[in-house]
Homo-oligomer: A and B are copies of this chain.
Amino acid sequence: MQRVHNVMEDAVTDLLQQQWSNLPASCHCDGCKADVYALTLNRLKPHYVRMPVGSMYVKAHLMTVQSRATILTALTESVKRVSADPHH
C-alpha cells in the first residue's frame, strides 16, 4: 500500500524544536520531550495525507498563525501534564 503521513507531526516537531527550551517543563530530558510530543499529537486532529500528494499543501495550512497558536496551546498543556508525572 502507498505510504501515508500525518503532517501534523511535522508542524508539532517544528514548534517543539523552536520552543522546547522556553516551555516550563520540569525536566528537559529526551524521554520527557518525546512524551510531550506524543501527548500533543493526541490532543490535535490528525491530518493524514497520501504521500507525496497533498503534503505540501497541508503543511502550508498548518503553519498559519491560528494553527500555530492551537498547536502551542496543546504543547503547553502537554508540558504541564508530563511535568506533573514524568516517566523519563
A contact residues vs B (CB 8 Å cutoff): 1-4, 6, 13, 16, 30-31, 33-35, 37-39, 41-42, 45-50, 53, 87
* Residues of chain B within 8 A of A45, CB atoms compared: 42
Q: A53-B87, A87-B53 are in contact. Are A2 and B47 (CB under 8 A)?
A: no
Known: A1-B16, A4-B37, A4-B38; 6 extra A-B contacts, CB below 8 A, are: A1-B34, A6-B6, A6-B41, A38-B50, A39-B48, A46-B46
Q: How far is the CB of A24 from chain B (nearest CB, A)?
A: 19
* Residues of chain B within 8 A of A35, CB atoms compared: 50
Q: Is the CB of A6 within 8 A of B37?
A: no
